[in-house]
Amino acid sequence: MFGTVVVGVGIAGLARIRDLMHPMPSSPSEHLKLFGFVSRRSFGNINEAKQISLEDALTSKEVHAVFISTENRSHEETIRMFLEAGKHVLVEYPMALSAKAAHELWEMAEQKDKVLHVEHIELLTEEYKELKKEVAGKDLVKGTLHFTGSVLDENKAGFPAFSGIARLTWLIDLFGDLTVTSATRVMQKDKNYSRMTVHFETTNK
């Protein structure tokens, strides 16, 4: 069995704990054993999963891999700690708040001979796979992708583009590399409203 630990117990972290505690039959998760979870808040146990200290997660020989499900700004530091400790890492997107940091982390994982995987579960859904089949072999002439969500705390989530990075990875996966041609942002603090509009071009314009 491959010992794992979950860091962060928000929506994503709780889903990880649930799936590790009750894996789907014949799924790879059946080979993973949840050693515990790490959180800044005190919980004790969650669904029979025990809370452990960060130090125990980093030093235990029973822990081989970590699932990082914390706020965006802490991803980089947490990845570094676990790679230094010789653990494999799965992190919810984005891996870091800058491309420079992301490249450094990839290099670090390679030097440590560890897996560093950025998870974007939407790309594995049946709906997305159908969408990818639908656009295969077609030329994109023009398109619009619109999505909404709650206003995020920029200190934790990073600049607004990071809250939309999942959709950006959709577009790159579907249509190849993109170039930003323009970007604007509208903010209405009195209404707690923010909108970011970005225009991209594909490699064939």
> Using CA of residue 197, residue 76, residue 175, residue 134, what is the dihedral sign?
negative
Q: Is 189 helix (H, G, I), strand (E, B) or coil?
A: helix
> Using CA atoms, how far apart are residues 93 and 39, in angstroms rounded to an integer?
19
- The pLDDT value given to residue 6: 97
B/e letters for 94-105, b = 16+ CB within 10 Å, e = fewer, are: bbbbeeebbeeb
* CATH of range 125-202; options 3.40.50.800, 3.30.360.10, 2.60.200.20, 3.40.190.10: 3.30.360.10
pLDDT at residue number 12: 86
- Closest to 121 (Cα-Cα) out of 152, 150, 91: 91
Instruction: Please give the Cα distance from 18 to 49 (Å, whole number).
Output: 9
Supply the pLDDT for residue 119: 87
pLDDT attached to residue 52 = 96
| Alpha-helical runs (H) found in 36-176 | 54-59, 72-84, 99-112, 126-135, 154-157, 165-175
Model pTM score: 0.77
Domains of the chain, residue spans:
2-119, 125-202
Q: What CATH architecture does domain 2-119 belong to?
A: 3-Layer(aba) Sandwich (3.40)
Cis peptide before 25 (omega within 30 of 0): no
Q: Are 43 and 9 in contact (CB under 8 A)?
A: yes
pLDDT tens sequence for the chain (205 residues): 899 999 999 888 998 999 899 888 888 888 999 999 999 998 888 888 999 999 999 999 999 999 999 988 899 999 999 999 999 999 988 899 888 999 999 999 999 999 999 988 788 889 999 999 999 988 888 988 888 877 777 777 777 776 677 778 888 899 999 999 999 999 898 988 888 899 999 998 9
